[in-house]
């Protein structure tokens, strides 16, 4: 993060700690380019799930690869972001879909919890550990409806992003009764032709089913011991690859809500045809199922997921990632990433 971004973090943190309200238009940036510059795309700015996710992912990288030296360069940013989340993490903000800025969102709180727990582990920051426990308590006491978790403080329905409570952020275990009830509600209310939708009232490109979220549901099912359910999710995602090895953002929205679908196509063109996070979650699910087959105590692993389903060419060593083969698809993907600020 650059100096200007640092100043915005400090100003927002100090303002909130002084008891003053957040100013959405003045909050730290929510979206960055691959090069690390701020993306001025006009989408809502006050969105904190990405900051928690960054802390969590850094901690995972450091822990899995023994990369403690990264903290020599990034320790100051970790401290800065942790302080920011400690100050604003329980406040209303925009959710992971860049919507509903007046509510507190359960999946955002999961990201905040994961990020603060990571900051405590990385830097031994006790205030982060204490705030993480406060966030967890808030989720359990304030973000539930009956036996399951709710989408937000303003919506008692379910959202497929509630899966994040268990994986990867660990607010609850996959077998927790409230998590199991939430997953069951997602399957009962949000499945469309076998794939998981975002939430019931979704009309973005017709509110279709997302490979990303279907793979996430399969990940939860695998961790909960339901391997047939996880395999069904993996098979559904594999059937969404096109001949170029591309996974779309979503499918079947044109069937579910043709009018909404046509409205979005008229505004922005066809839905994104290839998203990195869709591919990433497919590999996460594939890897989880492979671990279930080989067992957690062995290093014996297959070379990769079925190449026929990913459009990859078999080569020596690890398979290459899918490559864009058409300029039109590449331009379309860039446009989708810019307008949606996808992480």
Which pLDDT value is given to residue 15? 95
Q: Is the pLDDT assigned to residue 134 strictly greater than 90? A: yes
Count other Cβ atoms within 10 Å, centred on residue 144. 16
* Residue 190: Cβ-neighbour burial (10 angstroms; 0-12, 13-18, 19+): buried
pLDDT, position 3: 55
Q: How confident is the model at residue 308 (pLDDT cuts 50, 70, 90)?
A: very low
Between strands 148-149 and 191-192, the pairing is: unpaired
Give the lowest-confidence range in 26-35, 100-109, 152-161, 177-186: 26-35
98, 159, 202, 238: the active-site residue = 98
DSSP 159: B
- Of 98-112, 149-163, 217-231, 263-277, the range with the lowest mean pLDDT is 263-277
Joined together, the tokens standing for residue 150 give 């709710």
- Catalytic annotation, pick one of 249, 257, 274, 288: 249
DSSP symbol at 17: H
Of the candidates 95, 159, 202, 274, the residue annotated as catalytic is: 95
95 belongs to the catalytic site: yes
Told to judge if 249 belongs to the known catalytic residues of this protein, a careful annotator would answer yes
pTM equals 0.86
Q: Looking at residue 17, what is its pLDDT?
A: 94
Q: What is the pLDDT of residue 29?
A: 86
**Cα–Cα dist 146/156, whole Å:** 10
Instruction: Retrieve residue 232's tokens.
Output: 């069904």
The 10s digit of each residue's pLDDT in 30-43 is: 888 888 788 777 77
SS3 29: coil
Q: Is 133 a catalytic residue?
A: no
Torsion 250-256-257-261 (CA) sign: positive
Of 168 and 331, which is predicted with more confidence? 168
The average confidence (pLDDT) of the chain is: 86
Distances (CA, A) of 98 to 47, 101, 105, 121: 7, 8, 11, 29
- Of 8-12, 126-130, 149-153, 250-254, the poorest mean pLDDT is in 8-12
Q: What is the mean pLDDT of residues 288-301?
A: 69
> In what helix (H) or strand (E) does residue 99 lie, and over which residues does it extend?
none
Contact (CB, 8 A) for 230 and 222: yes
Rounded to an integer, what distance in angstroms lies between the CA atom of residue 43 and that of residue 339?
8
Share of the chain above pLDDT 90, in %: 75
| CB neighbours of residue 228 within 10 Å | 7
């Amino acid at each position: 993060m650059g100096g200007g971004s640092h100043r915005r973090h400090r100003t927002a943190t100090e303002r909130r700690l002084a008891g003053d309200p957040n100013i959405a238009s003045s909050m730290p940036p929510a979206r960055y380019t691959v090069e690390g510059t701020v993306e001025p795309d006009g989408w809502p700015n006050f969105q904190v799930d990405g900051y928690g996710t960054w802390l969590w992912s850094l901690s995972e990288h450091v822990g899995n690869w023994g990369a403690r030296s990264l903290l020599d360069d990034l320790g100051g940013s970790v401290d800065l972001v942790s302080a920011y989340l400690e100050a604003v993490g329980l406040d209303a903000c925009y959710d992971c879909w860049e919507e509903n800025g007046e509510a507190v969102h359960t999946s955002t709180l999961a990201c905040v919890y994961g990020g603060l727990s990571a900051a405590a582990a990385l830097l031994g920051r006790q205030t982060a550990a204490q705030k993480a426990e406060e966030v967890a308590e808030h989720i359990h006491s304030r973000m539930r409806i009956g036996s399951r978790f709710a989408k937000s403080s303003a919506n008692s329905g379910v959202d497929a992003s509630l899966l994040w409570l268990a994986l990867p952020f660990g607010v609850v275990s996959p077998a927790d009764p409230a998590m199991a009830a939430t997953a069951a509600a997602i399957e009962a209310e949000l499945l469309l032709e076998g794939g998981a939708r975002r939430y019931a009232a979704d009309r973005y490109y017709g509110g279709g089913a997302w490979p990303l979220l279907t793979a996430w549901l399969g990940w939860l099912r695998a961790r909960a011991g339901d391997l047939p359910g996880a395999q069904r999710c993996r098979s559904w995602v594999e059937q969404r690859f096109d001949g170029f090895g591309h996974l779309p953002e979503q499918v079947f929205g044109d069937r579910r809500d043709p009018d909404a679908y046509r409205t979005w196509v008229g505004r922005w063109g066809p839905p994104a045809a290839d998203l990195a996070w869709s591919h990433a979650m497919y590999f996460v699910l594939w890897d989880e199922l492979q671990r279930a087959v080989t067992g957690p105590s062995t290093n014996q692993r297959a070379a990769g997921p079925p190449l026929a389903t990913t459009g990859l060419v078999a080569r020596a060593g690890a398979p290459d990632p899918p490559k864009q083969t058409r300029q039109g698809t590449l331009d379309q993907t860039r446009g989708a990433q810019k307008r949606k600020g996808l992480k």
